[in-house]
Amino acid sequence: MKTRDRILAVSLDLFNRKGVAHVSTLIIATEMGISPGNLYYHFRGKDEIIATLVEELQNSLTRINQEYKEQVNVFDDYWPFLHTIMALFTHYRFLFRNLDNLNSQSPQIKRKIRTLILKLRTLSSEMLGHLAALGMLDTEEKNLPLIADNLLLVSLNWLNYQTLLDDKPSEDDLIRAGVLRLISMVEPYLSEEAQSPFYTHQDLVNELVP
């Protein structure tokens, strides 16, 4: 792995485990066994590392958006895409646990985060609109923007909520909870032919609110 890629991977791991505020470029360099000068050759500081990680996530979401309409033809196809998105959120969880602080940290990061949120807003709206176009949703078109925005709101905050309930959840548990929570928000609007064979409404209630 190239040094630049190693810096990003080690930084992401440290940010996720310790929190951005507790990780400096010196700590990153020490963890990697390289000099601070070697790190600064690739990144001019922690802000640039964070901005690059945000951009990585955005690029992954762009690929998902490009594949979504071709691969989702029935509601059961919707689950894997939500799983992929929640897995990405979990992989970059430092970002969603620190959105407010990071957004005020530097103009560079603020621009990256705003671009990311707008990308997520578009993705949420287009995914929901595609389900409606396939006849899987039983609601008026005028309701879709608010539903999509609520889905995004939950997506951005579910990690903090889950870790308040359990401060040491496994990644699998986090991803599953995120997927089921989004499904529970779409489920009341499903058309009759789109009802999931995997979960009834009561199943979702029992698992999400034990």
| CATH code, 46-208 | 1.10.357.10
Mean pLDDT of the 188-194 span: 85
Mean pLDDT of the 195-203 span: 70
Q: What are the start and end residues of each CATH 1.10.357.10 domain in the chain?
A: 46-208
pLDDT, position 205: 78
The string of pLDDT tens digits covering residues 62-118 is 998 888 888 888 888 888 888 999 999 999 999 998 888 888 878 888 898 999 999
Three-class DSSP labels, 134-200: CCCECCCHHHHHHHHHHHHHHHHHHHHHHHHHCCCCCHHHHHHHHHHHHHHHHHHHECHHHCCCCCC
Confidence of residue 193 (pLDDT cuts 50, 70, 90): confident
C-alpha–C-alpha distance, residues 2 and 10, integer Å: 12
Domain 1-44: give its CATH architecture: Orthogonal Bundle (1.10)
